[in-house]
Amino acid sequence: MIESDLAQFANKRYGQNFLKSDYYIHQIIQAMPDDDLKVVEIGPGLGDLTKELVRARSVMAFEVDKRLCEHLSIAFRQPIEKGELKLQCGDVLEHWVAGSLADEPYHLVANLPYYIATNIILRALKDPNCQSILVMIQKEVAEKFSAAVGEKEFCALSVLAQTAGKASICFEVEPEAFVPPPKVTSAVLFIEKERTQSSESFEALLRIAFGQPRKKLAKNLMSAFPKDKIEKIFERLDLDPNLRPHETETSFYHHLHNEFKKDILDGEQPKQRKERAATRGQQSRPAK
């Protein structure tokens, strides 16, 4: 298939909206961290961004669509032979099972497939080799990752991004810059990682805390944990019981996590713990 046909028959299932703007490709390259670390690109597509990345860095690219993989292996034969580009065909999430996408420190730079963008960013935050994340995603999602406490977009994703480092929106991109144009406005998000933290119990706590985002934080927590323990923790941390989840600083969630981890969480949600205890009870009951 030739390039124009690939663009025309873009596969919606894989979130294929190809960036066809030299201006924005240049802007992305300009926003990259100024060092010589390897770059990982997820979804090179037709290779327009890849071409510029390969000029500057050693690149490893993951593409799920077999048609695009064939196209890329021909279009980039030289850089592949020279070892400047390593092309991995297949679903990037399946390559991520071992904890890291690369065996050395790298920057993630990509125009992400929007249907799995949040999942990819969360994995990159937990990947110890990933040093920074520069990705084009849906503007609303970028706003969630980069929101400051008190803003209405501040949510569990903002807390996780702030836990890893600093997140900001570099610029917005209108749908007309893509072929075919997506239905939403896009934005380029940059997360400069300062640390890698991966804790199931912290994520579980955030899911509970932001479960009903417009309700009071204490109420949300009481849906999962004993009321008296939560009241005591709020008192101990001198937290206003009327705070909503988006009004509470990231550092407070870490305090809460330390408190809950000790008292209740210990790596699993209380409901799961109850269910497990009930199953154990049934198993240990003698058969009639």
CA-to-CA distance for 125 and 131, rounded, in angstroms? 9
Picking from 126, 131, 189, 183, the residue whose alpha carbon sits closest to that of residue 160 is 126
Distance in Å, CB of 63 to ligand SAM, minimum:
5
Helices and strands in the chain, H and E counts: 14, 9
Write out the two tokens for 81.
């032979």
**63 near ligand SAM, rule: CB under 6 A:** yes
244: phi then psi, degrees, rounded to nearest 5: -90, 160
Number of residues lying near ligand SAM (CB under 6 A): 24
Write out the two tokens for 123.
């994995």
- Choices 45-53, 71-79, 150-158, 267-275 (CB under 6 A): range interacting with ligand SAM: 45-53
- Choices 30-38, 61-69, 245-253, 266-274 (CB under 6 A): range interacting with ligand SAM: 61-69
Write out the two tokens for 32.
């990259």
Q: How far is CA 49 from CA 23, 28, 80, 130, 170, in A?
A: 11, 9, 16, 19, 17
> What's at 151, amino acid-wise?
E
Nearer to ligand SAM (CB atom), residue 25 or residue 230: 25
| 97 to 136: interface string for ligand SAM, x by CB under 6 A | --------------x-x--x--------------------
Return the bridge partners of 166, or none.
192
Nearer to ligand SAM (CB atom), residue 93 or residue 243: 93
| 10 to 29: interface string for ligand SAM, x by CB under 6 A | ----xxxxxx----------
Contact positions with ligand SAM (CB under 6 A) in 69-98: 91-93
Which one of residues 65, 127, 143, 259 is an interface residue with ligand SAM (CB under 6 A)? 65
Which one of residues 24, 32, 53, 62 is an interface residue with ligand SAM (CB under 6 A)? 62
